[in-house]
């Protein structure tokens, strides 16, 4: 092997060593790329699930919020209704007290006195003045009886209003209980939504970081692949040079052998000695025979 070929072979050996090192590095980088892309995709899938959970908790919270707003509107209507019934109750109670102030005896006493006076008129001989006085008393008692009847009607109305007010209070209590229950559930969903939102943010940050690591490894692998490809091309070029040198050396050897055979054949031809086929062919190639 010539010095040039030996030098080329040394260079080939060095480049092959570099190529092997680059290939191992490239395999490692490709493995890292697969690792980071797998982790990134896994984090992205997890992030999608978290985002869906955030949306679900938000939808549940908003739905409860709508129910609460509807219940608050119902509560406002009930409160206005209760105030109106209380106003009616207050007016009726004032009317009842006003009627009570206009009577000095109970309804039963009034009726008994009317019956007593009527009996007295019917059973006793009375003068016209006496009878007129008794009739006057009866008329006064009858007026008081009318007041008692009015008072009884107002009392019945007060009883009905109390029942209506109690019903309004019960409905208000039930609505307030529903509002408190829905508010507690809404707050629970809100807290869960915030927790999932924070978890989603953390996963997204990690996913973005992982994606950047993937891009860095991909870039490094691309650069290493280019370097490795360059080494392989350099090996092909060096191998071609070795082959060229070997071919040139082979041609020189063949030419030297042909020259030697031609010289030997020429001498044998002059001396008319028997020559080999190769020697004869060498003379033919030179046009000497």
Question: What letter would DSSP give residue 105?
Answer: S
Q: 53 is written with which tokens?
A: 């959970």
- Which is more confident, 252 or 50? 50
Give CA–CA dist 263/252, Å, rounded.
16
Place 284 in a pLDDT band, splitting at 50, 70 and 90. low
Quick one: pLDDT at residue 47? 96
Give CA–CA dist 213/27, Å, rounded.
17
Indicate the helix (H) or strand (E) that contains 165.
Answer: helix 128-271
pTM comes to 0.61
Domains of the chain: 17-231 (1.10.287)
Quick one: pLDDT at residue 6? 79
Say whether pLDDT at 28 is over 60.
Answer: yes
Say whether pLDDT at 285 is over 90.
Answer: no
Give CA–CA dist 177/58, Å, rounded.
23
Quick one: pLDDT at residue 248? 82
Residue 16 contacts by C-beta under 8 Å, 6 or more apart in sequence?
235
Q: How many CB atoms lie within 10 A of CB 232?
A: 15
Mean pLDDT within 129-134:
83
Mean pLDDT within 92-115:
83
Say whether pLDDT at 66 is over 90.
Answer: yes
pLDDT one-digit tens code per residue, 230-256 = 999 998 998 888 888 888 888 887 777
């Amino acid at each position: 092997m010539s010095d040039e070929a030996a030098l080329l072979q040394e260079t080939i050996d060095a480049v092959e060593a570099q190529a092997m090192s680059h290939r191992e590095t490239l395999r490692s980088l490709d493995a890292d790329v697969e690792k980071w892309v797998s982790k990134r995709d896994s984090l992205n899938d997890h992030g999608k699930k978290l985002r869906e959970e955030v949306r679900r908790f938000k939808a549940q919270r908003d739905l409860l919020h709508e129910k609460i707003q509807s219940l608050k509107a119902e509560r406002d209507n009930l409160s206005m209704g209760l105030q109106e019934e209380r106003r009616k109750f207050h007016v009726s109670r004032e009317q009842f007290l006003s009627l009570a102030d206009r009577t000095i005896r109970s309804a039963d006493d009034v009726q008994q006195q009317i019956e007593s006076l009527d009996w007295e008129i019917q059973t006793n001989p009375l003068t016209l003045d006496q009878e007129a006085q008794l009739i006057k008393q009866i008329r006064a008692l009858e007026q008081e009886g009318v007041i008692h009847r009015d008072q009884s009607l107002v009392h019945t109305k007060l009883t009905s209003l109390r029942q209506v007010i109690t019903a309004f209070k019960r409905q208000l209590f039930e609505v307030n209980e529903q509002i408190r229950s829905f508010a507690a559930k809404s707050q629970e969903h809100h807290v869960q939504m915030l927790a999932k939102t924070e978890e989603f943010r953390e996963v997204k940050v990690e996913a973005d970081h992982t994606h950047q690591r993937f891009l860095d490894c991909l870039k490094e692998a691309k650069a290493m692949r280019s370097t490795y490809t360059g080494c392989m091309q350099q090996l092909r070029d060096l191998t071609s040079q070795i082959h060229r040198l070997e071919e040139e050396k082979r041609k020189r050897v063949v030419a030297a052998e042909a020259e030697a055979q031609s010289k030997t054949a020429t001498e044998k031809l002059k001396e008319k000695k028997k020559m080999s086929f190769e020697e004869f062919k060498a003379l033919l190639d030179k046009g000497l025979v």
